[in-house]
Amino acid sequence: MGFLVQLLVNALILLVLEKIMPRVKVSSFGTAVGVALVVGFLNATVGFLLRLPLNILTLGLLSFLVRLFVTAVMIKIADKFFSGFEVEGFTPALIIAVVMAIVGTILSL
């Protein structure tokens, strides 16, 4: 149940940030849910493989920043999978990752 709530919250975050940020485009709620699902799947698989060496390199001291950076990369990868989702540049992807992390942290309390 928690996964489904997190998925819907991330989709809503994408839709809200699309209204605020001109460099982010989301065509529909269905696209936002699909993007949130793909980002979650990529974070669980490919993201883990990217985070592991970076966390070892930084001795785990920057693990939160590594997680944000990797999530932003996964958002940019999801951008390539969906024609109805566009993020122009890395900075908006990083902002989306930060907002998702903050809201996810608040929801897990």
No. of helices (H) and no. of strands (E), the chain: 5, 2
Q: What is the pTM of this model?
A: 0.91
* 66: pLDDT strictly greater than 80: yes
Q: What mean pLDDT is predicted for residues 4-20?
A: 95
Range in 21-25, 57-61, 96-100 with the lowest mean pLDDT: 57-61
* 2: pLDDT strictly greater than 90: no
Cα distances (angstroms) measured from residue 95 to each of 1, 8, 57, 102: 26, 18, 24, 11
Give the model's confidence band at 82: pLDDT under 50 very low, under 70 low, under 90 confident, else very high: very high
Dist CA 49 CA 66 (whole Å)? 12
Q: What is the pLDDT of residue 1?
A: 63
CA atoms within 13 A on the CB side of 63: 7
Mean model confidence pLDDT for the chain:
93
Give the model's confidence band at 58: pLDDT under 50 very low, under 70 low, under 90 confident, else very high: confident
